[in-house]
Chains A and B, each alone.
Chain A
């Protein structure tokens, strides 16, 4: 059967697939494209990712807002919304964990790891596609924020600086989530394991209420919470104030988390196999 031979066989000379570092970008983009296609085909996932932060805005602005005062801010919205932006992009990082766990349980990671591709591109492609998802949700969020009366009072440069910081911080967290997704055994576990700890992280912070209103024993925790630092920095920038040391501290956290967890996730990936 010649058709069989032609389609299925080949001389061994063709087996030398070019590999190496220069394929990192190509392979990452190929993987990112796979996720972006999937994203386009299930827009309902994107919708749910957007509904939750909108709910938070409505809840805090209209329900709790009247009871909360933020010193230094005459309008609570100006205080609150940068915190919700930060929480939204951070929550979105859990898509990385869920997506990787899904690929892992379906045996897709096994297949990818058996290909002559640049191996780490699987993680880079995944985290990158989640940044794109984040951009879409963030844009919707920003629209809602303006609709309820939030205004950017800083300069354009300050606003851009704040937004870039938010995305850098969320990207760093994607690598924590990559480690989570590769470590747990199922999509369901990834769902909880990627999410639960982010509630105390984002609520025991300055995002919704000033740290000074918390009980004394909780204040030092909230103050040193990296999420507080990022929120403070972006809040200052969006409101046209000086973020002070919070800005470079926030960047240090983002870079530190990305480096440490990037390394850990990459290591985990090198031995990750489906069930």
Chain B
């Protein structure tokens, strides 16, 4: 029996439909990545599963417990890390942990012991007696995740755990989640980042405008969309079709031309070694290019491949906006501009940010 079952979840806020019948489940010991842009309905789904919201239709189970009928029993089995670090700033790290432990009705001694254990485990022991106000974003996030693990939950929910974090903290949270998963904690992770889902999840569900539009293992999904891309930047926008004709035989999906016609992206299975080949072929065909580059697929590419439109920022639940990540280019990049502003045209910038993140994270 799966540890988490979501069946036909429907939820509207006023006239906007946040979820229009979403199904998925998470097998015990597995990690499911729910991937989608802002406003796709990810947070709404998590809130229904964690008893915070009642769906208009559908049902949800945790460990075979119906969350609508027996919310208290379901709550005893879950840990929730929301989009913002839900820590009390005026308490110390230790007090925050102890507080949550007491609300799980642990005895004082057990609560204290468990708090210390988790501080040690999450590398916060030195900071444990300090007031959280002075913690960095990464430390808050670690404490936040520790708080959701205090009762050794049977299912852990992580709602965009790295949104708003700087690259270094993001890397350390990833390492942490990696360990949790290796330890066998059943986890449901929502994210806007394909690389995050790719790296952490066993299975991925792609959600768009309240519907699940694709699901499968990370590998299966990549087979479908091409996990990597080759991107050609042209001197003359008129050459776009010729580029597709010349390089099309490498592609595993539909090529995509940016709105200004200067950038052509072709999804490929393996980009390794392809750039020199492509350069030679373009040269032979006498097509003038600014640049030929390889990059990993982003959420935008996934959405383009699956739906034919770019990942749009919906306003379905108005609750997915990662506004507090304003100091972090990586977190904000998928929000650049409003819906339908030809986001693909800014693909070049995204590549730069993405690579900067990768370099940064690899150094640390």
User: Chain A residues in contact with chain B, CB under 8 A?
Assistant: 1, 3-5, 7-10, 12, 14-19, 23, 26-27, 30-31, 33-34, 37-38, 41-42, 106-108, 110-117, 271, 273-275
CA A62 to CA B228, docked complex, whole Å: 78
B118 close to A (CB within 8 Å): yes
Instruction: Say which residue of B76, B102, B117, B147 sits within 8 Å of A30 (CB atoms).
Output: B102
B54 close to A (CB within 8 Å): yes
Which chain B residues (267-291) contact chain A, with CB distance < 8 Å?
Answer: none
B99 CB contacts on chain A under 8 angstroms: 30, 33-34
Contact B91 A38 (CB under 8 A): yes
User: Shortest beta-carbon distance, A174 to chain B, in Å?
Assistant: 20
A39 nearest CB neighbor, chain B only: B90
Contact B152 A111 (CB under 8 A): no
CA A15 to CA B62, docked complex, whole Å: 12
B315 close to A (CB within 8 Å): no
Interface stretch (choices B182-190, B229-237, B255-263, B347-355): B182-190
Contact B51 A114 (CB under 8 A): yes
Contact B104 A116 (CB under 8 A): yes
Contact A116 B91 (CB under 8 A): no
A-contact 0/1 string along B167-211, CB 8 Å cutoff:
000000000000110111100000000000000000000000000
Which chain B residues (213-242) contact chain A, with CB distance < 8 Å?
Answer: none
Instruction: Say which residue of A3, A19, A107 sits within 8 Å of B85 (CB atoms).
Output: A107
Do most interface residues of chain B lie in helix, strand or loop, or is the interface mixed? loop
A109 nearest CB neighbor, chain B only: B86
B180 CB contacts on chain A under 8 angstroms: 4, 8
A113 CB contacts on chain B under 8 angstroms: 51-52
B184 CB contacts on chain A under 8 angstroms: 5, 9
CA A107 to CA B148, docked complex, whole Å: 13
Contact B76 A4 (CB under 8 A): no
CA A42 to CA B99, docked complex, whole Å: 19
A12 nearest CB neighbor, chain B only: B154
Contact B183 A9 (CB under 8 A): yes
CA A73 to CA B75, docked complex, whole Å: 59
17 contacts between A and B (CB under 8 A): A3-B121, A15-B154, A27-B103, A30-B103, A31-B103, A34-B91, A37-B90, A37-B91, A106-B86, A108-B88, A110-B82, A114-B52, A115-B103, A115-B104, A116-B72, A273-B53, A274-B84
CA A35 to CA B185, docked complex, whole Å: 32
B149 close to A (CB within 8 Å): yes
B47 close to A (CB within 8 Å): yes
CA A115 to CA B319, docked complex, whole Å: 21
A106 CB contacts on chain B under 8 angstroms: 84, 86-87, 89
CA A275 to CA B320, docked complex, whole Å: 8
Contact A111 B76 (CB under 8 A): no
Contact A38 B82 (CB under 8 A): no
A19 CB contacts on chain B under 8 angstroms: 72-73, 76, 105
User: Shortest beta-carbon distance, A11 to chain B, in Å?
Assistant: 9
B51 CB contacts on chain A under 8 angstroms: 113-114
B96 nearest CB neighbor, chain A only: A34
Contact A115 B179 (CB under 8 A): no
B147 nearest CB neighbor, chain A only: A111
CA A33 to CA B100, docked complex, whole Å: 12
User: Shortest beta-carbon distance, B240 to chain A, in Å?
Assistant: 42
Do most interface residues of chain A lie in helix, strand or loop, or is the interface mixed? helix
Contact B52 A17 (CB under 8 A): no
Contact B152 A273 (CB under 8 A): no
Contact A115 B91 (CB under 8 A): no
CA A63 to CA B147, docked complex, whole Å: 54
CA A42 to CA B51, docked complex, whole Å: 33
Contact A37 B95 (CB under 8 A): yes
Q: Lowest 5 A-B CB distances belong to which pairs?
A: A10-B152, A38-B90, A107-B86, A17-B76, A4-B183
Contact A8 B103 (CB under 8 A): no
B76 CB contacts on chain A under 8 angstroms: 15-17, 19, 116
Contact A110 B80 (CB under 8 A): yes
A111 CB contacts on chain B under 8 angstroms: 80, 82, 86, 100, 147-148
Contact B105 A275 (CB under 8 A): no
User: Given that A7-B121, A15-B76 are contacting pairs, would A271 and B105 also be in contact in the complex, using a CB cutoff of 8 Å?
Assistant: no
CA A51 to CA B91, docked complex, whole Å: 26
A37 CB contacts on chain B under 8 angstroms: 90-91, 95
User: Shortest beta-carbon distance, B47 to chain A, in Å?
Assistant: 6
B53 CB contacts on chain A under 8 angstroms: 271, 273
B83 close to A (CB within 8 Å): yes
B54 CB contacts on chain A under 8 angstroms: 271
User: Shortest beta-carbon distance, B342 to chain A, in Å?
Assistant: 28
User: Given that A7-B121, A38-B91 are contacting pairs, would A115 and B100 also be in contact in the complex, using a CB cutoff of 8 Å?
Assistant: yes
Contact B152 A8 (CB under 8 A): yes
B73 CB contacts on chain A under 8 angstroms: 16, 19, 116
CA A9 to CA B181, docked complex, whole Å: 11
Instruction: Say which residue of A41, A107, A116 sits within 8 Å of B83 (CB atoms).
Output: A107
B78 close to A (CB within 8 Å): yes
B127 close to A (CB within 8 Å): no
B182 CB contacts on chain A under 8 angstroms: 1, 4
A115 CB contacts on chain B under 8 angstroms: 75, 100, 103-104
B43 nearest CB neighbor, chain A only: A273
CA A256 to CA B182, docked complex, whole Å: 55
B78 nearest CB neighbor, chain A only: A114
B63 close to A (CB within 8 Å): yes
CA A26 to CA B101, docked complex, whole Å: 13
Contact B103 A117 (CB under 8 A): yes
CA A269 to CA B131, docked complex, whole Å: 28
B85 CB contacts on chain A under 8 angstroms: 107
User: Shortest beta-carbon distance, A171 to chain B, in Å?
Assistant: 23
Contact A275 B82 (CB under 8 A): no
A9 CB contacts on chain B under 8 angstroms: 152, 183-185
Contact B118 A7 (CB under 8 A): yes
A3 nearest CB neighbor, chain B only: B121
